[in-house]
Each structure stands twice: as C-alpha cells, then as structure tokens.
C-alpha cells in the first residue's frame, strides 16, 4: 500500500512537472515569436518605404505635425493590435483556461483588456506628445530632456499607482485580519520601515494564481495581498512572503533599482539617439524629426533591450536571493518559507527547472529549485531552525 501511495505521488509530481513545462515553454515560444515578427515587420515597414508613404498620406488629411504624428502612431498601433489579437487571446485567455488558471469569462477578459487599453491611452498619449515636442525643440539633445522627463513621470506614476490606477482593476480593501496585520507591522518595524497601510485585493476575480507586493512611494507606500494568498496560505506562510518583500527594502533594493534604472535609462536613450541619427541615411530619411523615420527608434530599442535584459535579470536574481535570506533571518521559519515557495510555484504553474540559458536570459527571479537549494545552504551555514508561532508564544 505504501509503495502504491509513493507511485501515485510520484506520478502526480511528474504530471505537474510536465504540465508546467508545457505551459511555460508555450508562453515563452509565443513571446519570442511575437518579438521576432514585430522586429521583422517593423523593419520591412521602414525599408520598403511604407512608413514614408503613410506619413505622406496622413499629411493630405492634415498639415498639423502633431496630429500627423498621433495618427501615424495610432495606425501602427491598431495594425499591431489586430495582427497579434489571435495570439494575445490565445495566451491571455485560452491558455490560462486550458491550464485551469483563469477565473475570467471572455466578456470579463475583454473588459479588463479594454480598461488596460484606456488607461494606457490616458498615460501614453501625453507622453507621446511630450516626446514629439522634445525631439522637435531640443534636436540632438532630445534624449537627455526626454530621459529626465520620464524619470519624473515614473516617480509620479509610482505614487499614483496604488491609489488611482490599481483600484480601476481591483477592489482594494483594508486587511481585516488583525493578527496578521500585527505580524506584518512587527516585521516592518524589524526592517526599520513604517508601514501603516496593509490591504487585500480581489485577485481571484481574474486568476487562481496567488501573489503579494509592495507598491507606491512615500505616503502611498502600502502592502497589498491577493485574496488567493490570504485564503490558501497560513499566517506563518504569508509572514514569510511579506518578510521576503521587506528584505528588498532592508537591502535598499528599491533605491538601487531606482539608481540602476535611471542610469540605464539615460544611457539607453543616449545610445539609441546616436544609432538613430547615424542610421537615418540607410533608409534615405532627412532628419531626426521626420515622422516616417521615428519607427527606427523602436528598432534600435528592441536591439538594445535584447542586450540589457539579461544584465537586468542577473541583478534582479541577486536581489531575490538576498531577500530570501532576509526572510529566513527575520522569521526563523525556513520550512514554512520553502513550503510556501513550493505551493506558490504549483499554484502559479511555474517552471521549477527551466533551461539554464532560459533562466539566465529571461528570468528576473531564480528558478524555484535554485532558490530552495540556496535557502537550504544558508540555513545549514547559519544553523537556523524553524520557530513556529506556538513556540514563540511559549517563550
């Protein structure tokens, strides 16, 4: 009987492993395919003269350069949306239902995407107009002015996200569990952080996945917990998740990411501006402000992003290991943390053991197997044992 149980458990584990592999490999393949197709089509659009033809056609409708620019961008955006709509529906709706990860009806899926599009327009249109103004007014120094503006915009959006943007998509309510709230507050104090705002959000309306996060800046800084996490995990397990997030603050990862992101952003815009200007003649464009030439910026951004992505992910994975170690040191609950990571991986259908290159290039978090091995090594080195809430209360 015991052998049959072991066989059954192993069979389920193998099935889940293969299921997660297929799910993640499918999403990865589609993502890579979309990126390659986008690059090729955009190159053809520029090289074959379609970009210039589109500009000239729109100029027959209006002579206002800003209006021509916005129509130009919207035409490309609409074409791209229609072209990739089948793939987006497949990955965003069909695939999630196929693997029993989604709680959405197709109408709700459509509604959420419509809201995302409208929010994107509200934020994106002013940024596009600002970009066009800057490149026309500041010439070769457009990259410096625009990078500075984007830094300020990102700070403002980070502050507004939890109080304006997130409530558009989710119902945000104060956490009602006083014991859990106290635990979280004590953890925050231990990390030297004052956190008064702890909230839950109805993550389950869209997905069966679970998550938690810190969001906001300054007075809008808050902890948000998905209802799927609150419903499916014990307080000890949730505590380790929060401790991990607090580890990012304790190790100044937020500040470090802000510095790295700012430097990277300025450097990226500078490099793109040089490559953009020097490549204009390849396609017989006249100057950097020519509307038909602007898609070249996207081409160069794709290439630079291909180089930057693994660099940023290496740094991100380093921070995740540090946050994991802090979670263990601050809670003394390595078994609970490991159990939580395993359960989250199963619930979110994460790939436990991706190919080494895939993890190196695409993953911002270490694979679950590497994280657990690192935690076990750290616990062994430091001699940390599991301390449960019951033991703590007795002490």
Tell which phi-psi region holds residue 145, choosing left (phi > 0), alpha (psi between -120 and 50) or beta: alpha
| Residue 301: partners with Cβ closer than 8 Å, 6 or more residues away | 268, 272
**Which of 201, 192, 209 has its CA nearest to residue 246?**
192
- Number of alpha helices (DSSP H) and beta strands (DSSP E) in the chain: 16, 4
Three-class secondary structure assignment of 329-393: HHHCCHHHHHHHHHHHHHHCCCCCCCCHHHHHHHCCCCCHHHHHHHHHHHHHHHCCCCCCHHHHH
**What are the residue ranges of helices labelled H in 161-294?**
166-169, 178-190, 227-232, 235-250, 253-279
Instruction: Please state the φ and ψ torsions of residue 64, each to the nearest 5 degrees.
Output: -70, 120
pLDDT of residue 218: 76
- Other beta carbons within 10 angstroms of residue 282's beta carbon come to 10
Residues 296 and 276 sit within 8 Å (Cβ to Cβ): yes
Strands (E), the chain: 172-174, 198-201, 212-215, 222-226
pLDDT of residue 389: 52
The whole-angstrom separation of Cα 224 and Cα 213 is 6
- Looking at residue 384, what is its pLDDT? 76
pLDDT, one tens digit for every residue, the chain (395 residues): 555 555 555 565 676 788 899 999 999 999 999 999 999 999 999 999 999 999 999 999 999 999 999 999 999 999 999 999 999 999 999 999 999 999 999 999 999 999 999 999 999 999 999 999 999 999 999 999 999 999 999 989 988 998 999 999 999 999 888 888 888 888 888 888 877 678 899 999 999 998 888 887 777 888 889 999 999 999 999 999 999 989 988 888 888 888 898 899 999 999 999 999 999 999 999 999 999 999 999 999 999 999 999 999 999 999 999 999 999 999 999 999 999 999 999 999 999 999 999 999 999 999 999 999 999 999 998 777 776 654 444 33
Could you tell me the two tokens for 346? 């199963």
Rg (CA), the chain: 24
Tokens 């602007």 locate to 294
């Amino acid at each position: 009987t015991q052998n049959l149980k072991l066989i059954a458990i192993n069979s389920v584990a193998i099935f889940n492993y293969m299921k997660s592999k297929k799910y993640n490999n499918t999403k990865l393949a589609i993502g890579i395919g979309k990126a390659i197709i986008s690059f090729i089509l955009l190159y053809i659009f520029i090289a074959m003269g379609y970009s210039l033809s589109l500009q000239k056609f729109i100029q027959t409708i209006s002579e206002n350069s800003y209006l021509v620019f916005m129509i130009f961008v919207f035409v490309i955006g609409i074409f791209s949306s229609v072209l990739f709509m089948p793939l987006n529906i497949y990955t965003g709706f069909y695939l999630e239902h196929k693997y029993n990860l989604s709680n959405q009806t197709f109408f709700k899926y459509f509604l959420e995407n419509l809201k995302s599009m409208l929010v994107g327009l509200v934020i994106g249109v002013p940024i596009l107009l600002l970009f066009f103004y800057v490149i026309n007014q500041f010439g070769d120094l457009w990259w410096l002015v625009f990078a500075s503006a984007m830094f300020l915009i990102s700070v403002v959006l980070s502050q507004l996200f939890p109080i304006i943007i997130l409530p558009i998509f989710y119902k945000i309510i104060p956490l009602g569990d006083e014991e859990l709230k106290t635990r979280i507050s004590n953890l925050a104090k231990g990390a030297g952080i004052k956190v008064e705002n702890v909230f839950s959000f109805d993550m389950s309306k869209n997905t069966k996945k679970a998550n938690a996060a810190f969001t906001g800046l300054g007075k809008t800084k808050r902890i948000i917990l998905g209802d799927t996490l609150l419903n499916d995990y014990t307080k000890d397990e949730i505590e380790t998740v929060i401790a991990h997030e607090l580890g990012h603050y304790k190790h100044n990862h937020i500040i470090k990411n802000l510095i790295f992101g700012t430097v990277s952003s300025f450097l990226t815009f500078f490099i793109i501006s040089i490559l953009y200007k020097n490549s204009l003649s390849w396609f017989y464009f006249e100057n950097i402000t020519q509307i038909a030439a602007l898609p070249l910026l996207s081409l160069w951004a794709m290439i630079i992003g291909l180089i930057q992505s693994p660099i940023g992910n290496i740094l991100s994975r380093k921070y995740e290991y540090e946050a994991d170690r802090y979670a263990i040191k601050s809670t003394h609950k390595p078994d609970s943390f490991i159990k939580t990571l395993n359960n989250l991986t199963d619930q979110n259908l994460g790939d436990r053991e991706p190919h080494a290159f895939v993890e190196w290039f695409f993953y911002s978090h270490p694979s679950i197997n590497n994280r657990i091995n690192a935690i076990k090594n750290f616990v062994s080195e430091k001699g940390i044992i599991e301390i449960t809430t019951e033991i703590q209360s007795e002490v």
